[in-house]
Chain A
Amino acid sequence: MDTESFDLLLDTLRRFVAERLRPLEAQVADTDAIPDSLIAEMREMGLFGLSIPEEFGGLGLSMVEEIEVAFVLGGTTPAMRSAFGTNVGIGSQAIVQDGNDAQKAAWLPRIASGEIITSFALTEPDVGSDSGAVKTRATKAKSDDGADGYRLSGSKRYITNADKADLFTVMARTGGEGASGVSAFLVPRDSAGLSVGAPEAKMGQQGAHVCDVNFDDVFVPAENRVGPEGEGFKVAMRVLDRGRLHISAVCVGVAERLIADAVAYATQRKQFGQPISDFQMIQAMIADSKAECMAAKALVRETARKKDAGARITLDCAAAKLIASEMVGRVADRAVQILGGAGYIADYGVERLYRDVRLFRIYEGTSEIQRLIIARETIKAGG
């Protein structure tokens, strides 16, 4: 996109975040729901289609552009982004990256418009970090009217937006043990035998929901498999590489918001006859947060640039996710500290963000798993 249009796009989003999303943050958290009218506004804005190619009705942002958008979206509570986050990221990217023409034509336009919501279903009750060990089975079978396909049985856990999803990307075992026995499937919500559990009560990000998804002998037509049999884990890992980079950018955005909130408070609040921002111990916290945030931002931008250039970025994405998610955790902790008692009181919103950002170190691979990836790739490359 040309710079002038992209600047206008970012500017418009900044306004949308400041004027439409931020004022509703507390309400979304209190009611654990995003108002339908706001979802409609997000659709209208085109937010569901950020990463979907233009030919399918999306904006077709490059990764370099997408992360700049994610920095801006980090200016509001992460639950808001989650409303369209799965359509932009893990819910759509298997189709965008590995889907065939028919799958793209069938699903992407409605994903881009937000007409349908998507989820990504990898995690299971017994399968988390060791995601290559999925137990959900997909067995070759015929449908009642004789069509070729698979029957899926098993359960998925903590699936974001499952309560609203119309389409799931499901990783299930078609072959033997290990990652090479996994295939990826597109499973519509209305498939017979598919059921979704009640939303879980969570620590933060109220307004965004996770649920179990159960498959009881669910027939999935053969044409709904994404990529060849046995390639499902690779499909999932490519989706997650990209997802991790997007999440890293959101971490930076939230950190920038927290730093701004902390600075605004510190320059107003007076103790011992002066603004607390005059105290060097407060300044040190602001400086550490700012410097760490800038470093993470630079890494995210560099990784996005590499991705757009077509380089292999597994290590880079894991590093960005590790650095950015740990960074925003520290920044949130310092923000609470700078606000003192107010940091612990709900009205100021900082304690809410403190709880919200805790998730970033867990999902799309825990910090420990990112370290494993970084170490594996580094050792493989000899340094």
Chain B
Amino acid sequence: MKILVPVKRVIDYNVKPRVKADGSGVDLANVKMSMNPFDEIAVEEAIRLKEKGPAEEIIAVSVGPAKATETLRTALAMGADRAILIETDETVEPLGVAKLLAKVVEAEAPQLVILGKQAIDDDSNQTGQMLAALLGWGQGTFASKVVVEGDSVDVTREVDGGLETVKLKLPAIVTTDLRLNEPRYASLPNIMKAKSKPLEQKTPEDYGVDIAPRLKTLKVVEPPVRQAGIKVADVDELVAKLKALGVA
């Protein structure tokens, strides 16, 4: 079985993002970029499925600028077998990415697509779901456990009330949550070997997908600075204040 793992190049999770002066977006000039952490978990899960048996080949795919090859190399160094870069300098919205991925799925015929539940830059949490809808496949989102058995996959999902397990017929879509696994570090020898693994270069036009944005960003602002709290003299005053605020 083939597994497709989409990976996104995003601002590193250790970096404190700064909004551009003109409010048009987040300033990414000279900022450290890395693989979206949820996508690392997706790559790790695919590698584990390969190590355990059910998977034979892992294909990493990224939609983004030329620099996204670095992200794909990371996936290859971790253990993916080959990679596809769909190169574009445009901002591609989740629907555009999902449409492109649907085309890749058509060409590669994977049995499983494992995606991060969301990317930490725009926090959309849409691509996996949209891809499932476009393909008409079952989806197991927010996975904390993935077990492939025969022609189905059991996905344990982290839902508000606790855990829910769904059985999906393959092919299927899985999106990863934080507790699914702890991704490995690419070993140094594997980083060196990654260079010789195949990396295919494509463009959105190759797939005939219109990636023009459907949404318009009006303004990006810094989150409001947290206001200082107030001190209350006693419990009575506390209760009175809470009542005044309408929370008690």
A residues neighboring B (CB under 8 Å): 1-2, 4-5, 7-9, 11-13, 15-16, 20, 44-47, 49-50, 54, 59
Contact = CB atoms under 8 A, between A and B. Distances in A.
Interface residues of B, number: 15
B70 interface: yes
B185 A47 contact: no
B187 A5 contact: no
Contacts of B105: none
Contact of B192 (A5, A15, A44): A5
B187 A8 contact: no
B185 A45 contact: yes
A46 B185 CA distance: 11
A6 to B, nearest CB: 9
Given A11-B34, A46-B189, 20 more contacts: A4-B70, A4-B195, A5-B191, A5-B192, A5-B194, A5-B195, A8-B77, A8-B194, A9-B188, A9-B192, A12-B185, A12-B186, A13-B188, A44-B187, A45-B187, A45-B188, A46-B187, A46-B188, A47-B188, A59-B188
Interface of B: 34, 69-70, 73-74, 77, 185-189, 191-192, 194-195
21 contacts: A1-B192, A4-B70, A5-B191, A5-B194, A7-B70, A8-B73, A8-B186, A9-B191, A11-B34, A12-B77, A12-B188, A13-B188, A15-B185, A20-B185, A44-B187, A45-B187, A46-B187, A46-B188, A46-B189, A50-B188, A59-B188
A359 B212 CA distance: 61
Contacts, number: 46
Contacts of B189: 46, 49, 59
Contacts of B70: 4, 7-8
A12 B75 CA distance: 12
A12 B191 contact: yes
Nearest to B196: A5
A45 B77 CA distance: 12
A16 B185 contact: yes
Pairs A-B, 8 closest by C-beta atoms: A46-B188, A46-B189, A9-B191, A46-B187, A5-B195, A8-B191, A45-B187, A16-B185
